Amino acid sequence: GNSVTQMEGPVTLSEEAFLTINCTYTATGYPSLFWYVQYPGEGLQLLLKATKADDKGSNKGFEATYRKETTSFHLEKGSVQVSDSAVYFCALSANEKLTFGTGTRLTIIP
């Protein structure tokens, strides 16, 4: 079956540091890939997406590239802010069914 594996947290960084959260997937066919963000007490928000190999999704300074050869979709941001503190989920969609990773808690300290 389909599955998503993402780097375990928690991750703690200083403000303006470079961020990478690793995500790899297993799927049959050609899934779409997503990153979602969850702020405390809220639902998941779609952060960015990529629907085919070599696509780069980007939003709010975050980026991720769909790498079919390594089955990866790592999340990156060049300079994080305190407001980026949240839980980040990698997900894939195949046949309209979303499969999520376990989430990575990110804390940014001033």
Partner 1 sequence: DAGVIQSPRHEVTEMGQEVTLRCKPISGHNSLFWYRQTMMRGLELLIYFNNNVPIDDSGMPEDRFSAKMPNASFSTLKIQPSEPRDSAVYFCASSTRDRLGAFFGQGTRLTVV
Preceding peptide of 10 cis, ω within 30°: yes
Type of residue at 5: T
Indicate which single residue of 32, 58, 59, 71 sits in contact with partner 1 (rule: CB under 8 A): 32
Instruction: Quote the tokens at residue 19.
Output: 């961020």
Type of residue at 107: T
Indicate which single residue of 45, 81, 83, 107 sits in contact with partner 1 (rule: CB under 8 A): 45
Count of CB atoms situated within 10 Å of the CB of 95:
9
Nearer to partner 1, 42 or 69 (CB): 42
Indicate which single residue of 17, 46, 82, 109 sits in contact with partner 1 (rule: CB under 8 A): 46
Residue 10 near partner 1 by CB under 8 A: no
DSSP class of 8: -
d(CA 60, CA 83): 11
* Rg of the chain, C-alpha, whole Å: 13
Residue 34 near partner 1 by CB under 8 A: yes
**Between 49 and 88, how does the x/- string for binding to partner 1 read (CB under 8 A)?**
x-x-------------------------------------
Under the rule (CB under 8 A), what is the footprint of partner 1?
A: 32, 34, 36, 42-46, 49, 51, 89, 93, 96-100, 102-103
